[in-house]
Amino acid sequence: MKRLLIFLLLCLPAVPAAQGRDREADLRAEVTFLCDSLCAGRGIGTGGSQVASFYLLRQLRNAGLRATVQSFSAGGRVGRNLVAVTPGWYRRYIVIGAWFDGLGTLDGRVYPGADANASGVAALLDLARELPQYCKGDVGIVFVAFDGHHTDLAGANAYLKRYRREYPTMLMVNLDLLGSSLVPVHKDRPDYLIALGGGSRRVALEDANTGPGLDLSYDYYGSSNFTDIFYRKISDQRWFLSSGIPSVMFTSGITENTNKVTDTPETLDYSLLRRRIDLIAAWIRAQL
């Protein structure tokens, strides 16, 4: 039965990579699929996680990337990173990552994990379809859907141990909870984005923000303590930072739905998610 399900997933029509597609509809569809009962909350080492990982592998390969599955052990379970690289050979790489595992099913209740972090994964796929065409110099891109976020960020650690030398990294970009407008930095600006670690890159980020026009912040709601926690301790860029790799984490912040069964696709703002991706894409293009 499981083999049949995987076969059917691989045969599903993938989201088109061509320009002119309805990106907001694609973002909504991808979040909805990752929150479906088939994925059952995407707990590491579960059948639902396997369904999600094969779906992501399909989408990344359809974007024209060299995509593979990296297996690793975490907490007695098998995790799976999806690692996709722009074709060709480059001297340096930008790693763009988003974790896809969730809390799974607890006490018979599925935790969908729409904002946390299907939103970041949908953004990752959108960038994977857009950015490779701009890799014409000596900088390539590695797109990684990390598993094991909830087991001490094990997927990010496993990626670095396996691929750091193969893909020398000049910058890590982390997409971590990107779909909500429920907790704006300023009450009158629900169209906001937080870029932790982006303060030293403020000029380039503000240039990239010319079109999207978001309320761009460089700390976690004005708190130095929470900025340090989210930037250096509890998200996937932690392992990159400890390895001396510059990193920027983009987020819309924790909400009252985070890690609850109420974190559903209907609670996200897909128009705002698209604008956030537009800013991130413009900023990354300027570095290629």
84-106 confidence digits (pLDDT tens): 999 999 999 999 999 999 999 99
Would the pLDDT of 233 be above 80? yes
Kindly report the average pLDDT of the chain as a whole number.
94
Q: How confident is the model at residue 216 (pLDDT cuts 50, 70, 90)?
A: very high
Q: Are 130 and 283 in contact (CB under 8 A)?
A: no
User: Which of 3-7, 112-116, 195-199 comes out lowest in average pLDDT?
Assistant: 3-7
* pLDDT, position 14: 52
Provide mean pLDDT across the span 206-234.
97
In eight-state DSSP terms, residue 50 is: H
* pLDDT, position 15: 52
Would the pLDDT of 10 be above 70? no
Domains annotated on the chain, with CATH = 2-6+22-285 (3.40.630.10)
* pLDDT, position 1: 41
Amino acid present at 216: L
Question: What is the percent of the chain with per-residue pLDDT over 90, rounded to a whole number?
Answer: 92
Contacts 24+ apart (CB under 8 A), 262-265: 263/111, 263/112, 263/113, 263/114, 263/115, 263/116, 264/35, 264/112, 264/114, 265/28, 265/31, 265/32, 265/35, 265/112, 265/114, 265/118
* pLDDT, position 21: 78
Provide mean pLDDT across the span 187-200.
96
| Residues 13-33: tens digit of each pLDDT | 455 444 567 999 999 999 999
